[in-house]
Amino acid sequence: MSSPASPFVVTDGRHFRLHRMDPRGSSHLSLSKEEAAAQLPDAVARLAALQEKLYAHSRWGVLLIFQAMDAAGKDSVIKHVLSGVNPQGCQVAAFKVPSSEELNHDFLWRTTARLPERGRIGVFNRSYYEEVLVARVHPELLDNQKLPAELVTAQIWKERFEDIAAFERHLARSGFVIRKFFLNVSKEEQRQRFLKRLEEPAKRWKFSLGDVRERERWDDYMRAYEDMIRHTSSPDAPWIVVPADRKWFAHHVVAAAVIEALEQLDLKLPTMRAPQRRDLERAKGELERQAPKRS
């Protein structure tokens, strides 16, 4: 039986076309919002149990990357899907405008320093992919990166795709499982969510005038996302193009994809060797002897 995420997984992007992916698509599933809500606690519990095994096994690491247009629901997905994971075994990093220190290094430097340790799930809310998305739509940002002029050519995006693919291949060969999620929200749904932010005092802080200005470059962003997915999808680091117009469905797809990735590792708790078992029995005996005597 295929995973609910399967129709949205891109492992070979050569023929990928973003316009074929419906932001409200779920036709392969007969699932209602109420059913998805009822299933989510079980998915969260399964993920928490798998994360405990990942932590105890301490050989694999997991990197989850989330990319999307503003208001697509990245924060919501991370909050709901990972709500049951032990914070000790999860590392979340949000990448915003690069600092001056970060701009003095190569474009992979700031994210490399935040990669998860073995046994942990790392979450990137935006990532090095910003350097082939925002920087591509706004190429003037390359000036801030202090690159030698002769390196800023028409080939720079192709070269960055190659660098990213090589980096992710290196991570996979080093024992890190990578799943990349593009939350595919429609322009109209984004507009409605922006209006909702403006209407709700608790959400107004999330809004800025720059968000509206970026909508004017929507088509440029969609072309950049399509090219990104076409050039950086691989079996070891697939993109999952998540229909994001309905948040409940996005949660369902992301949870299924993460659970499937962890289950494929066949994680097991460490086995106890004979000396360890003897030590445990000795410790148990000591603790039992320390019990207060009843009067």
Helix (H, G, I), strand (E, B) or coil at 179: strand
Q: Is 168 exposed, middle or buried (0-12, 13-18, 19+ CB in 10 A)?
A: buried
C-alpha distance from residue 132 to each of 36, 63, 202, 283 (Å) = 34, 19, 32, 56
Q: What type of residue is 250?
A: A
Measure CA 65 to chain center.
3
CA dist., res. 137 & res. 116, Å (int): 29
Give the pLDDT confidence score for residue 27 in this predicted structure. Answer: 57
Query: DSSP secondary-structure letter at 273?
Result: P
The SS3 of residue 66 is strand
Spatial CB neighbours of 195, under 8 Å, sequence gap ≥ 6 = none
How would you class 167 by CB atoms within 10 Å of its CB: exposed for 0-12, middle for 13-18, buried for 19 or more? middle
- Tens-binned pLDDT, residue by residue, of the chain (295 aa): 457 778 899 999 999 999 999 999 875 677 889 999 999 999 999 999 999 999 999 999 999 999 999 999 999 999 999 999 999 999 999 999 999 999 999 999 999 999 999 999 999 999 999 999 999 999 999 999 999 999 999 999 999 999 999 999 999 999 999 999 999 999 999 999 999 999 988 777 878 888 889 999 999 999 999 999 999 999 999 999 999 999 999 999 999 999 999 999 989 887 767 787 788 888 888 888 898 887 6
Question: Residue 5 has what pLDDT?
Answer: 79
Alpha-carbon torsion 71, 73, 78, 84, what sign?
A: positive
